[in-house]
Chain A
Amino acid sequence: MIQIEHISKSFGKLDVLRGLDLSISPHEVTAVLGPNGAGKTTLIKSMLGLVKPDSGHITINGKRINGDASYRSGIGYMPQNARYPDNLTVQEIIDMVRDVRGNPEDTDEELFHAFNLKTELGKKFKTLSGGNRQKVSAVLAFLFRPPVVFLDEPSAGLDPVSSSCLKDKIAREKSNGKTIILTSHIMSEIQELADKVVYILDGLIHFEMTVTELLETTGERTLERAIARKMKGAA
């Protein structure tokens, strides 16, 4: 359960979030959508404690974020572009994250095997292709079985096979009771995976609906059309 109460954040003169309220239900996939620069990444980074909101509170699993780091052991995060130290091998990067997480025994290596990353283990990070970097980052997001997972544009740069592996994983983890928050520009992906859509516009929630509701109320068959119609209706 994630509770976001009235958070605002501005970068200089730019107001990115303007008193946004949102509660994200557990055990669901919530898609955060919105035009470029609407504040999606800022919202996710606020939940991770990377961005410090000017005002407002965020509570994750009953813990209010206040600069303490420990709550993040319950979160997995896959950023838009991940970059680890260039000269570390994939194995070392995984070990490093494992180390700071206190070397838990029970890890989830499903994605690692699905992506066939074994052959990449000894390679230095700087020699990895963009897609393989994304894969490493996705593996790390799920590795420690966190109850909450943030995925920022997860399938960007992934080939179709890997992308569908990842989607299967997301669906499976949802049925395992994980809370998943994702952003994406690929509406078919969201339609496939998400239970709920949160649409952000100018730093506020423009609407918040389940995918089925959205399709029913607009009478469209695809999410893309439904959102387009909804936005046109609003304008």
Chain B
Amino acid sequence: MKTNTLKLIKYQLRDVMRSRWVIFYLAFFILVTDALFRFGGSGDRVILSLMNVVLLVIPLVSIMLGTMYVYNSREYTELMLSQPVKRGEMFSALFAGLMLPLSVTVAAGIALPFIWNGVLISHLAALGYLIGTAIILTTIFSALAFMIALLTEDKIKGLGLAVVMWLFFAVIYDGLILVVIYMFSDYPLQQPVLVMSMLNPLDLARIALLIEFEASTLMGFTGALFQRFLGSTGGLLTIAGVLMLWISLPLAWGARRFVSKDF
């Protein structure tokens, strides 16, 4: 009986689609994408530039909004759980109520300017790939947001943790890899570094995009490693698998916690 989930999602989507942050988020992607076209970019160049925006902004927005969303839904969650609704159903509804609107917003915000600039069809594959990666990142960082918000009841602490986690994956982690490479430069590092970059979903997404767009000059050390060791297809498949783990593990933990927790 998962039907309660669908019923709840229907109302939550109505709620979220009317909220201001969705409109801002949509406007942001439309403006950025359109601006990139205006500054003389061809479709290919716009996609490459968007890649960096996607890698930076989506994890930040998903994890921050997501953490806020879970805290703000607390009373609502409590009320629905006092109805004949199972905890698992409520958890799925809450997650979908965050992840679906965020994904749709990103997809629409990126795709719309391609439509009115008349290059949608010619760039369909690359655009689809970019949007797909964007949605995977949205899902991963929404899942991490659920994890954080279920870890601590303290909203300020939770939001702080969300910022730190984003900083860690987006900035600090690359620094750490560099430090490791520098410190152990006398040793063969390919495999350890390969494993290290698997532990960062953002790195993985970046590498996946770079392999696909064959922007090897931008690929950096880890990207080149992936391609050399696994080949393009093997590398991509490995990345896809690990990214799925990055979705399912935090979600599984969150769901378990949600089911056993006190409200």
Q: List A50-105 residues whose CB lies under 8 Å from chain B.
A: 50-52, 67, 69-73, 75, 77, 79, 81-88, 92-93, 95-97, 99-101
Of chain B, the residue at the smallest CB distance from A97 is: B83
Find A99's partner among B7, B89, B259, B263 (CB 8 Å cutoff).
B7
How far does the Cβ of B152 sit from chain A's closest Cβ, in whole Å? 13
A79 to B76, CA, bound (A): 11
Query: Which residues of B have CB within 8 Å of A169?
Result: none
A49 proximal to B (CB < 8 A): yes
Find A49's partner among B10, B14, B16, B81 (CB 8 Å cutoff).
B81
In the complex the two chains form, is B86's CB within 8 Å of A69's CB? yes
A106 to B23, CA, bound (A): 40
In the complex the two chains form, is B15's CB within 8 Å of A79's CB? no
Of chain A, the residue at the smallest CB distance from B15 is: A85
A87 to B16, CA, bound (A): 7
B79 proximal to A (CB < 8 A): yes
Query: Which residues of B have CB within 8 Å of A72?
Result: 82-85
In the complex the two chains form, is A92's CB within 8 Å of B11's CB? yes
In the complex the two chains form, is A100's CB within 8 Å of B8's CB? yes
Given A11-B262, A96-B8, A81 contacting B86 (CB threshold 8 A): no
In the complex the two chains form, is B262's CB within 8 Å of A86's CB? no
In the complex the two chains form, is A85's CB within 8 Å of B4's CB? no
Query: Which residues of A have CB within 8 Å of B185?
Result: none
A31 proximal to B (CB < 8 A): no
In the complex the two chains form, is A52's CB within 8 Å of B83's CB? no
Of chain A, the residue at the smallest CB distance from B259 is: A67
B18 proximal to A (CB < 8 A): yes
In the complex the two chains form, is B260's CB within 8 Å of A100's CB? no
Given A50-B78, A99-B7, A100-B4, A87 contacting B14 (CB threshold 8 A): yes
B80 proximal to A (CB < 8 A): yes
Q: List B208-263 residues whose CB lies under 8 Å from chain A.
A: 259-260, 262-263
A161 to B8, CA, bound (A): 34
Interface residues of A, Cβ cutoff 8 Å to B = 9, 11, 45, 48-52, 67, 69-73, 75, 77, 79, 81-88, 92-93, 95-97, 99-101, 124
The contact sample of 11 A-B pairs, CB cut-off 8 A, is A45-B262, A50-B82, A69-B86, A87-B14, A88-B11, A88-B15, A96-B7, A96-B8, A100-B4, A100-B85, A124-B18
